Amino acid sequence: MLAWHIGFRYLRRRRAAWLALAAITLTVAAPVAVIGVTQGFLDVLARQARASESDVTIQQPWGGEGLADTPAGRAQLRAVDGVAAVAPFVQCYALMTPRIEGLDNSPTLPCQIDGIEWSADAALGRLEPAILHPQPIENLSAPPEAPQRRGTGFLTPQWRAQLCLLGAAVGAPLGIMPAPLPPLLRPTPGVVAGRELLYGSGISVGQVIDLVGAAQVHQQVEITDTIGTGILEVDKLTVLVPLPLGQALAGFTGSPTSHPRVDGFRFRAAPGVELKSLAERLDLSSGQRAQTWRERRLTMVKSLEYQRNVMGLVMLAIQTIAVFVVYAVFSTMVAEKRHDIGVLLGIGARPGSIAGAFLLAGVVACVGGGLLGWGIGWGFLAAAQIASHSYGILLFPQDVFYSPDTPVSWDPRIPLVFIGAMAVIGLGAVAIPAIRAARIQPVAILREVS
């Protein structure tokens, strides 16, 4: 193919072509790296949101009377098409006061109670091991608690010991354990607190605190563990408590004539189920407003999406600057090769082949430079990740971005979009000199040299 033969040769032999290639490479590498990080933040945000949100949530309006939590009601919700798991929850504000030895007036802190059933919530995928007992972010000098000092979910170490003793008590009559056993204690209930709430207030795991809920119910609890979703507002406020305790604090306990109430239910969707349609079905089934996790975190997700999109537009604008370089290089190339083009047209090359040669050279430069830019962009992201993860060199201040690692997205669509954009814009820029080359009059050239 004549166009390919000529175009590739001109591209290879022209020094200026390397300049165009470099411009293309850099203006693909930069967006790949920048949008890779921006999308990485979005991905981290989504992951963090999913740590505290279920797929779909039904929640009564704030301050309402609550929804009845009955076995039949739960079964009805679980029967909705696409529901894999369901878990009730109670949410209310409370005040917590740590009991600090030697201090009569301990500070009182506001917190948000999230009353849950541990096993049901775990079935939702919310309480993944990765978010339990995490390293605190705001106070790196405070190490996570050692496993023996932590509880197990809502079980305090004392309760855990009690259970062992209970097992031993059962085993003693059977002759498995020696008797007599020590007397049973009555340890306090355990709760799991947000890591920043805890470490930021100087409270530690194992400490006993007083909780006063919206229903003016006082309850003494022991902190068994910390939780870190990655979302500061959650980690600075949330205290996970057993559902009955949450109901007591919120004033949602049942009576002999009524069932205990809850604020709402969280749902896990079956694999492959579209969340929006599941929310609509739950809406119809329950008569309550159902929202997907994305709808509940819409402001946060949308703001980052807008940032990413604006950044993408800025990057596209930068690519158009590279296009000027491409245009200049190819215009120069056509001017330099004017004689050869005239000769080629003179010996029978078709104008289309001449234009095609330059267009092909442009495509090769744009796609080749783009692929190179992809490699450089991802190389930079990999280096940034290694630097932050392995060597603690932070690209972004973690107290601002609340993430110790450089968030990175390896989504190949990002580089492909920018390579595609570069190819389209670059082709547009090359088209002008290519058409100019095809319109060269061979007679004029041959007369010039004869």
| For residue 182, cis peptide bond before it (omega within 30 degrees of 0) | no
Nearer to other proteins, 258 or 450 (CB): 450
Closest CA to 32 of 399, 356, 370: 370
**Residue 364 lies near other proteins (rule: CB under 8 A):** no
Q: What's the closest the beta carbon of residue 396 comes to other proteins, in angstroms?
A: 49
Cβ proximity to other proteins, 13 vs 78, nearer residue: 13
Tell me which of 351, 368, 375, 420 binds other proteins, using CB under 8 A: 351
Q: Choose the binding region for other proteins from 171-179, 218-226, 281-289, 350-358 (rule: CB under 8 A).
A: 350-358
The nearer residue to other proteins, 302 or 447, going by C-beta atoms, is 447
Nearer to other proteins, 14 or 126 (CB): 14
Q: Is 271 helix (H, G, I), strand (E, B) or coil?
A: coil
Min CB(424)–other proteins separation in Å: 27
Total residues at the site for other proteins (CB under 8 A)? 24
* Alpha carbons 237 and 232: distance in angstroms, whole number: 8
Of the pair 94, 345, the CB lying nearest other proteins is at: 345
Q: How far is the CB of 8 from other proteins (least distance, A)?
A: 11
CB of 336 to other proteins, least distance (A): 11
Rank residues 270 and 444 by Cβ distance to other proteins and give the closer one: 444
Residues in region 431-450 near other proteins by CB under 8 A: 442-443, 446-447, 449-450
Mark residues 309-348: x for contact with other proteins by CB under 8 A, - for none: ------------------------------xx--xxxxxx
DSSP annotation of 102: T
Identify the sign of the CA torsion 190, 191, 192, 194.
negative
The residues in 131-160 that bind other proteins, with binding defined as CB under 8 A, are none
Among the listed residues 127, 349, 359, 421, the single contact to other proteins using CB under 8 A:
349
Query: Three-state DSSP class for 429?
Result: helix
What is the nearest approach in angstroms of other proteins to the Cβ of residue 326? 20
Does 109 bind other proteins (CB under 8 A)? Our answer is no
Q: Does 10 interact with other proteins (rule: CB under 8 A)?
A: yes
**Minimum CB distance to other proteins smaller for 66 or for 346:** 346
State the sign of the Cα–Cα–Cα–Cα dihedral 226, 227, 233, 234: negative
Distance CA 39, CA 52 (A): 20
Instruction: Give the residue with the Cβ less far from other proteins, 345 or 419.
Output: 345
At closest approach, how far in Å is the CB of 310 from other proteins?
Answer: 45
Nearest alpha-carbon partner for 37 in 441, 447, 401: 401
Residues numbered 13 to 42 that lie near other proteins (CB under 8 A) are 13
Question: Rounded to a whole number, what is the largest CA-CA distance in the chain?
Answer: 120
Cα of 20 vs its chain's centroid, Å: 36
Which residue, among 200, 193, 183, 448, has the nearest Cα to 341 in the 3D structure?
A: 448
Least Å distance between CB 341 and other proteins? 10
Nearest to other proteins of 250, 434 (CB atom): 434
CA distances from 177 to 95, 157, 181, 185, 373 (A): 44, 21, 9, 19, 69
Residue 277 CB, nearest distance to other proteins (Å)? 57
Among 2, 16, 46, 364, binds other proteins (CB under 8 A): 2
Minimum distance of other proteins from residue 448's CB (angstroms)? 9
How many contiguous H segments (helices) and E segments (strands) does the chain have? Answer: 16, 11
Q: Which long-range contacts (C-beta less than 8 Å, at least 24 apart) are formed by 250-253? A: 250/66, 250/90, 250/91, 250/92, 250/113, 250/115, 250/213, 250/214, 250/215, 251/213, 251/214, 251/215, 251/217, 252/66, 252/90
Beta strand extents in 243-289 (DSSP E only) = 261-262, 264-269
* Residue 261, beta-bridge partner list: 68
Q: How far is the CB of 347 from other proteins (least distance, A)?
A: 6
Candidate list 64, 107, 352, 379; residue touching other proteins; CB under 8 A: 352
Nearest to 312 by CA among 33, 104, 25, 126: 33
Question: Closest Cα to residue 80, out of 284, 254, 243, 354?
Answer: 284
5 binds other proteins (CB under 8 A): yes
Q: How far apart are CA 241 and CA 233, in angstroms?
A: 18
> Which residue, 126, 69, 127, 119, is CA-closest to 265?
69
Q: Tell me the per-residue interface mask from 381 to 410 with other proteins, x by CB under 8 A, - otherwise.
A: ------------------------------
| Rounded least distance, CB 28 to other proteins, Å | 28
Question: Site residues (CB under 8 A) for other proteins?
Answer: 2, 5, 9-10, 13, 339-340, 343-353, 442-443, 446-447, 449-450
